[in-house]
Structure 1
Amino acid sequence: MKIAITGATGQLGQLVIDALLQRGTAPSQLVAIGRSEEKLEPLAGKGLQTRVADYNVAASLVAALEGVDKLLLISSSEVGQRATQHENVITAAQRVNVKLIAYTSIANALTGNMKLAQEHIATEHLLAGSGIGYVLLRNGWYTENYTDQLLGYLNSKVVLGAAGEGKISAAARADYAEAAAAVLLSEAGEAGKIYELGGDKPFTLSQLAGAVGAAAGQDVAYQDMDPEKLVEIYTESGVPAVFADILVDTDLRIREGALEVHSGDLARLIGHAPTSLGKAIKDALAR
């Protein structure tokens, strides 16, 4: 059986490959697909097959998926181009008879009303009409979305947001990677399944600020912002306007529960509790 991973050189892709190898998958069973031959070299060094392909180049995708049984389609990072890029991958998978596609969608895709979910919903619809067996890994927010900003929080002593007291079921990227590996290696019929994935202990941005402050031994507070002002702050700091708008929209949807997950799917798939917020912060501070 051949398992392919798109975006294999990205943060999530590399963690999925690590999780597959840790679960006993032979490197020769894995096909790592990425845009850069240079970035793929370390994976080739681990014994994986590596294939260069671009989400925008249909012919490259057909060649990259030849002989593949199961595919993990990691969503593109190019907001605004994702649906077209994902359609290219799905069309290529149809041409070479891939049996199963696992797709990294977003938590509560159909009910959360997030702008960020629109391209994920479009991709879910493409999969549903593709004739290929598919499974949806609706990943919640990554804890790293916050821990990667620790230095900024500690320097400014503030966490800015527009999420009010909305709760976020975030989990570590490695937890989501482990879940993807579990699904790809499952011998049960996964086609048609939808997993709503998130951490077991949802937190508010106020609680995030408190946890950061406690771990660092200093005061950090949450400041709830006017949405338009927050967009302005993001754009002034160099965030592209379109993405700044999506970030603030996500905060507003968090107020309504868009990223709160209570399915327990993540813990069940990985066989243990997801990484806690406190541990994620401590680990990030230690780095």
Structure 2
Amino acid sequence: MASEPRILVTGATGQLGRLVVANLARTVDPARIVAGLRRPEAAGDLGAQGIEARAVDYEKPETLAAAFDGIDRLLLISSNAIGERATQHANVINAAKAAGVGLVAYTSLLHADTSPLPLRAEHVETERMLAASGLPHVLLRNGWYAENYNGFIPSALEHGAIAGAAGEGRIAAAARADYAAAAATVLAGEGHAGKVYELAADEAFTMAGWAAALTQASGKAVAYRDMDEADYRAFLIGVGLPASVAELLATSDAGAAKGGLFDESHTLSHLIGRPTTPLADVLAAALKG
């Protein structure tokens, strides 16, 4: 591998990808960073920073050979197209192998091999494809993003309650910026090939604890109303969510109730060299808009 490897970040203008690129730009020469995105013309100010933009579309394998040419390290951020991820990720992995990429980092799911969350299936399949490819790779098994719950804040404040099916399950959700810092650390560092990193916040919360933290942050009383999985799914559909979204939220909560979103290894904070962002800070930032 070259002494100054070129690093490509897929989904570089997405919520996670843009933070990874920003972290990398603070530690390595921007000329070594390549932003992969479906529409390079939407790269914004990346060019002004000296960061090259290349077309990367998981659904268009013909875009990938040119995108990965000369790339030493690749961050494969998992697709958000649930049900189509495995095929899309296979396109990326095959192209990376053909291009001779030296390291692929993949954003998988916390404890993907044992997780009770149905979301695990496509992550496990991608991990298997990476292993079969022979590519040097590292698994960044990300826990839940703490920001996943921010969309519930307006309704929780309006009604004084948030519903769910997570029971007393402990959720070690970290800020998206923490996961981005971990990915940048791995991409810019050495010795990560073959590693599996279970990444989660230092401190976990229950959904009742989340409601209490929102109460503290907002000054408005919010309670947590726990339901069983089927009732929660029906509730979500009743308030207007598509059935597929309701299914995802309900099964994820049910998985959380079984411990699927909990980890206490502190691997994330060790990797980034600082404590993870407290939930109170995530909520404060969301309330400020």
Deviations 1:187-213 (A, max 9, x none): 2x2111000000011100000001101
Q: Does 1:62 align with 2:59?
A: no
Shift in alpha-carbon separation, 1:70–1:110, aligned structure 2, 3 A: same
Residue ranges of structure 2 left out of the alignment (5+ in a row): none
Q: How many residues align?
A: 285
1:168 aligned residue: 171
How far 1:257 sits from its partner (Å)? 0.7
State how far apart, in whole Å, the 2-side matches of 1:237 and 1:116 are.
23
State how far apart, in whole Å, the 1-side matches of 2:236 and 2:67 are.
38
> Does the 8 Å contact 2:152/2:162 carry over to 1?
no
1:70-89 matched pairs, under 5 angstroms: 70-89=73-92
Say which of 251, 254, 258 aligns to 2:253. Answer: 251
- Matched position secondary structure for 1:152: helix
2:280 aligned residue: 278
State how far apart, in whole Å, the 2-side matches of 1:101 and 1:259 are.
24
Shift in alpha-carbon separation, 1:44–1:235, aligned structure 2, 3 A: farther
State how far apart, in whole Å, the 2-side matches of 1:17 and 1:146 are.
24
Q: Does 1:19 align with 2:29?
A: no
1:170-209 matched pairs, under 5 angstroms: 170-187=173-190, 189-209=191-211
How far 1:238 sits from its partner (Å)? 4.2
- Matched position secondary structure for 1:11: coil
How far 1:243 sits from its partner (Å)? 3.0
State how far apart, in whole Å, the 2-side matches of 1:193 and 1:151 are.
39
2:93 aligned residue: 90
2:217 aligned residue: 215
TM-score (norm 2): 0.96
Deviations 1:3-42 (A, max 9, x none): 000111101000000111122x111101101112332232
1:132 aligned residue: 135
TM-score (norm 1): 0.96
2:158 aligned residue: 155
Residue ranges of structure 1 left out of the alignment (5+ in a row): none
How far 1:173 sits from its partner (Å)? 0.2
State how far apart, in whole Å, the 2-side matches of 1:199 and 1:280 are.
12
State how far apart, in whole Å, the 1-side matches of 2:40 and 2:53 are.
8
State how far apart, in whole Å, the 2-side matches of 1:58 and 1:38 are.
19
How far 1:178 sits from its partner (Å)? 0.2
- Matched position secondary structure for 1:275: coil
CA RMSD of aligned residues (A): 1.2
State how far apart, in whole Å, the 2-side matches of 1:235 and 1:3 are.
42
Say which of 103, 106, 110 aligns to 2:106. Answer: 103
Range 82-91 or range 48-57, more displaced: 48-57
Deviations 1:123-176 (A, max 9, x none): 000001011000000000001011233212111211111010000001100000
Say which of 6, 9, 13 aligns to 1:5. Answer: 9
How far 1:226 sits from its partner (Å)? 2.8
Identity of aligned residues (%): 46
2:147 aligned residue: 144
